Structure 1
Amino acid sequence: MMLRRLLVSCFALVVLVEGGSNPANSSLPCDDGVHGIEIDFPSDDQDYYKCQSYSWLAARKMSSGRNVHYNETARPIHQCLSVPIVYENKPPTSGYHRKLWPAYGEYTYCPPQRWMHNLEHGAIVFLYHPCAPAYEVFLLREIAKSCLRRHIITPYLGLKEDEPLALVAWNYVRFMSWVNITESVLWIQAHALQTYEKMVYQNGKYTHWLTERAQVVNGSDIRDSLLCPEKLISLLHRNYTAVTDSYSDNAAVAHDDNDNTAVMQSDNNSTTISSMTVSNTTVSNTTVPNTTVPISKAMWGLGSIVFIVLCIIVAVLVARPKRVDKYKVRFSKFTSSMSDSHVPVTRLEVSAPESIGLLKREESDDTEED
């Protein structure tokens, strides 16, 4: 009898932890990664997870971020989709979560009820607000791909404007106003793969809105035995530096006089650059904000310069006197003998160059006589 009770208790514990049938609807599974997943989504519209107002400027602070340690507030117990999961902290770092964890990589949006399970396996979640500066998000993404395969990249609406970026590990979070490569790498090396389930390295079965799967980092392996290989991080430092104050100063900002709302024109005035993805040493195209001037203004400026140059050329051509290859000059040369004998004046018709030569020769003759 005691053995039977022990077996029943163990079975009940397994059902509680791993999830069994859905108590609200026995016909639906507890969690299959497809049905009923909308319970964890604020909206099923993908545009909801894009910037709805204006792109924020990079907050330039003396420190790039701050570290927060939360004590474990809840056991890592799996919940079926029939039970809503609400977290106290934003972003959460521990607690209840869904049975199926997401495949590692980048998502249009991945809810914390999913990636919380990845944290339990030692992963690092890279969060950014949809309105965060595009350059900072780009650099955050490159660090994720260069440090470990077990990463999740997703927008998160719970971040604030002065700290629109975050690194999340089990019970730890680093809020960032801008990306500092060295500090981010050190934080990842200190907090990644520090959980008791770190031996679970496989991809999860949840792939809803997955846009890019994570790849094994060069120099490491599928288990992420080497975090943030030095060679890749050195390449990051050489190719991408921290955003300077000029990024904020030169950003194109338009002010609406009606509501005094600052609108940064980074979405329409962004340029696509080809840059090296250091995680797999391939070339990828990434969109970053135009930190100089908008394209429209640059085109207007270039057109104005060309118009001014054309006006100057036309003015010079019009004002320049017409050249006459040959013209006739008439002059009379009187000699003392001809004047005395009343000989008619001799008129010569010569070209302009010849006349000038005759005049010069006469002047030289007069000088020699004197």
Structure 2
Amino acid sequence: MDAADLDLLNGFQRDFPLTPEPFRIIAGQLGRSETEVLAALRRWQEDGKISRVGAVFATRKLGVSTLAALAVPPTQLEAVARRVNDYPEVNHNYQRDHDFNLWFVLTAVSSARLQEILSDIEEQTGLPLLDLPLLEAFHIDLAFDLRHGGGHKRSISPTAATDRLPTLELSALDRSLLTALQPGLPLLSRPYQALADAVGLSERRVIDTLRGWLEHGLVKRLGVIVRHRELGYRANAMVVWDIPDTGVSTVGRLLAAESGVNLCYRRPRRLPDWPYNLFCMMHGRERDEVLARIDTLCAEHRLQNYPHAALFSSRCFRQRGAWYLPAVTLPNQTENRRAARFEAVA
């Protein structure tokens, strides 16, 4: 991948142009043609290097979500993973190195639907299930810096601005637009017009609505959604700590500010099987690189005496954006599905 390709992938993961011809704007900034930009994005989507060009939604403004895990006998892992993937509400599904070896994210339109799915999975598999809803977010999805392995050291506010905003009520037309947007923008010269045609709105209304969603925090970012594994960052670890409840928020904000920590949040313990309450996602090109960074963070923040573990992913059973409503696919709007082939990731 040359410097021009990296500029396209790295520079437009957020702040995507809200103009009738966004790819032309991007091409002008990069000194390329619109045809070249669209061709590159289509190729990377087909190759699995990007998931989509589209929106990352604020989960708690649209519905509910949880992180769940199962302890699956190795001989049953693929069959159980396929069963979990039967639910469209499952957007991430990974094998990780732990007794609880199958980890998946569920996003649903209501708490009742979420619990229905969890109960179904537990009943159908007959396996112990961890339900670990988000309790406190310190750093979530501010794009992935491909030049620096996830990002530089950053400032973390005590409470994210989007958490202070009221839930946005969506009209029927807005919900139709959200549904059409879930798989990503169509990779066409005028993607917002294609969305408008699909849901019966004007192009201007679509653009203005998306701008309002971004300002309100319903959409956390709009842009290129990369798959870091396919771009060389294949050592993907979920690092978990058991931190006393009185100090977990302070430690969470400290770790969230560190370079190399891509996600950081607090979730509940589930004793006796799961004693951990602080989660960080860390990515690197090699496992030893990530382990060394974990050791450094433990030393810098005096965390060596707190129980912790690094759960590296070894297979991806699904990775895509969250679907809150039944999807509508438009022309040239084909979010890549390569993860359905159960890819090895390490």
TM-score (norm 1): 0.21
Structure label with greater radius of gyration? 1
Considering Cα pairs closer than 8 Å and 6+ residues apart, tell me whether 1 or 2 has the greater RCO.
2
Structure number having the greater helix percentage: 2
TM-score (norm 2): 0.22
